[in-house]
Chains A and B, each alone.
Chain A
């Protein structure tokens, strides 16, 4: 810092701590609620410290879960979420890295047409074209399938755009050296470009995994078979039990389980994730 003013330093830390408290409050209360017994969440104020039912609540959520409300166990939903998140992340990275490669490294007729066809989808979320997309998926017979859950969502240009930006920064001399070394397009891609893109792919993986895991509307409409429900949309079913108050400790334990994988991924791969985010802007 340029100067050291006491009050300013105090203010700085006060702002940060207050901010952190506000940001963390919902998480803390969720955690507390997920450890309470059934009777402890009826009258306000609710406790501010964790209770003793942690294992019982999480065990119940994982094994029977919504079964009492006629649903599937949380374990199944977690698995479905995992399939969806991995399918979207891997699928998106795979198709976009090769299309970006073609766009940057090849000269071919209609290159710009292809470019614009792909890039017009940049940022266009599924929510705004939900009804017709549903109709298309339905007419292709892809409802209630993992394919229907994942494939329509891998059509986004964000990843292609990131790879394109990255490829443009790769020095031309690598390609030239590789050509002198007798590497054709496939070899150059496999031996040089892919290894160079490792960091970008990992960063993108974090972002896309979260994107896939957190999908809500799409699984809501393409799945009617509850064995394909994902955890994020499953929560909704738990909150809106007709008339009565939901079973909050179980709901909150489920919420914690739903948040855990993506939050863990973000925290564990923080540096990659931040780099990935900031790079998509460039």
Chain B
């Protein structure tokens, strides 16, 4: 068990492409770090650099007290679960799990004992003599976990381990992974593009985009106080609504098309006349407007999900589509005009040019 430190880590490929553009990250002992981001953001590359499968061009990676930059993957005291599991197809479950220990030259009894313990934890005891192709997707996933477990590593690395499972199994395994990691108290680094996985698993969440960590923090903090427009749009489903606006001449309110005015809190003080992006989450629009600012929405599509309803529409005078999420089944029909209330306390402001948050300027990661 150990902490994990990334210090100014960069990855530049031979062709000059910069995949990771300087990432600083600290994970405490036993912490579950999730890296989330769209495909191509560099999250897998970062994980593979920690694993030692990609060379680190610059910066320092430290596991516990050791700098591991120049160590072979096997020497780093890590274990990895791959997206497609990478179980050796010709070996039995037992041999798959034992292979790494065999290569370390551990005594037979120890290997047997360790594999059996891991198998017990993962309910694989009856399957040890099977070949991977005789297993279901969920069982393969468990074997891949077991292979990581028997090594008793300092850090677990997960590369989108649940993306090959069907939706139901994914939820189940997600819970199991979290429980297992808690029980063992081993530091974990987990890469995913699924924000539900990210939100539920993470002690510490890293949102990556374009080779940069846009924001690092606790999941709920990131949800409530996104540091950039990208983070705000990426985390949360359905996505946050964005509307362009300008700061009124008095600097105290926002002017949106359609005669809409939203008062500004004194805290964020953008200069008058400045172009900003207004962000509002779908659940922060209300069907019963109070005295505050209102938005008129011409209703388009309605998705009835039972517990909640998602309404899509266009606000009068705006280019952008707006999504609204309400509990239960509201009485709304397509084509109707809806009056929506907007709670100024839940409005996020972003610089229209840089995308940086104006509401929470002091939050954020290593941008």
B: which residues have CB within 8 A of A? 48, 51-53, 72-74, 78-80, 82-86, 88-91, 99-100, 103-104, 147
Interface contact B89-A177, CB-CB below 8 Å? no
Minimum Cβ distance to chain B for residue A126 (Å): 36
Q: Name the contact of A180 in the complex, choosing from B83, B85, B91, B100 (C-beta under 8 A).
A: B100
Q: Name the contact of A173 in the complex, choosing from B74, B84, B100, B104 (C-beta under 8 A).
A: B84
Would you give the 0/1 interface string for A176-201, flagging 1 where the beta carbon is closer than 8 Å to chain B? 11111111000100011001101000
Known: A173-B82, A173-B84. A180 touches B73 (CB 8 A): yes
Known: A173-B82, A187-B103, A191-B99. A179 touches B88 (CB 8 A): no
Known: A176-B53, A177-B80. A183 touches B86 (CB 8 A): no
**Within 8 Å CB of A180, what residues of B?**
51-53, 73-74, 78-80, 100
Known: A179-B72, A181-B74. A171 touches B86 (CB 8 A): yes
List 22 contacting pairs A-B, 8 Å CB cutoff, sorted by A. A171-B86, A173-B83, A173-B84, A174-B86, A176-B48, A176-B51, A176-B53, A176-B73, A177-B88, A178-B88, A179-B72, A179-B73, A180-B74, A180-B79, A181-B100, A182-B104, A183-B74, A183-B99, A191-B99, A195-B90, A196-B90, A198-B90
Residue tally, chain A, CB below 8 Å to B = 17
Interface contact A177-B86, CB-CB below 8 Å? yes
Closest to B90 in A: A195
Query: Within the assembled complex, what's the spacing in Å between the Cα atoms of A16 and B280?
Result: 73
Give me the 10 closest cross-chain CB pairs, A-B, nearest first.
A182-B74, A173-B86, A181-B100, A182-B103, A177-B86, A195-B90, A180-B73, A179-B73, A173-B82, A181-B99
Minimum Cβ distance to chain A for residue B100 (Å): 4
**Within 8 Å CB of B74, what residues of A?**
179-183
Minimum Cβ distance to chain A for residue B132 (Å): 12
Interface contact A174-B79, CB-CB below 8 Å? no
**Within 8 Å CB of B83, what residues of A?**
173
**Within 8 Å CB of A171, what residues of B?**
84, 86
Interface contact B103-A181, CB-CB below 8 Å? yes
Minimum Cβ distance to chain A for residue B102 (Å): 8
**Within 8 Å CB of B84, what residues of A?**
171, 173
Minimum Cβ distance to chain A for residue B97 (Å): 10
Closest to A191 in B: B99
Closest to A194 in B: B90
Interface contact A176-B103, CB-CB below 8 Å? no
Query: Within the assembled complex, what's the spacing in Å between the Cα atoms of A196 and B85?
Result: 16
Closest to B79 in A: A180
**Within 8 Å CB of B91, what residues of A?**
195
Minimum Cβ distance to chain B for residue A107 (Å): 11
Minimum Cβ distance to chain A for residue B18 (Å): 21
Closest to B48 in A: A176
Q: A183-B99, A183-B103 known; 11 other A-B pairs, CB under 8 Å?
A: A171-B86, A173-B85, A176-B48, A178-B99, A179-B52, A180-B52, A180-B74, A181-B100, A182-B74, A183-B74, A195-B91
Closest to B157 in A: A180
Query: Within the assembled complex, what's the spacing in Å between the Cα atoms of A173 and B73?
Result: 13
Closest to A198 in B: B90
**Within 8 Å CB of A192, what residues of B?**
88, 90
Within 8 A of B (CB), among A49-75: none
Q: Name the contact of A196 in the complex, choosing from B52, B79, B89, B103 (C-beta under 8 A).
A: B89
Interface contact B82-A176, CB-CB below 8 Å? yes
Known: A181-B100, A182-B104, A183-B103. A174 touches B73 (CB 8 A): no
Minimum Cβ distance to chain B for residue A186 (Å): 11
**Within 8 Å CB of A191, what residues of B?**
88, 99
Minimum Cβ distance to chain A for residue B156 (Å): 11
Query: Within the assembled complex, what's the spacing in Å between the Cα atoms of A176 and B79?
Result: 11
Query: Within the assembled complex, what's the spacing in Å between the Cα atoms of A108 and B150?
Result: 35
Q: Name the contact of B100 in the complex, choosing from A176, A182, A196 (C-beta under 8 A).
A: A182
**Within 8 Å CB of B53, what residues of A?**
176, 179-180
Query: Within the assembled complex, what's the spacing in Å between the Cα atoms of A263 and B286?
Result: 81
Closest to B76 in A: A180
Closest to A176 in B: B53
Minimum Cβ distance to chain A for residue B198 (Å): 23
Q: Name the contact of A174 in the complex, choosing from B72, B78, B88 (C-beta under 8 A).
A: B88
Query: Within the assembled complex, what's the spacing in Å between the Cα atoms of A173 and B88?
Result: 10
Closest to B153 in A: A180
Closest to B86 in A: A173
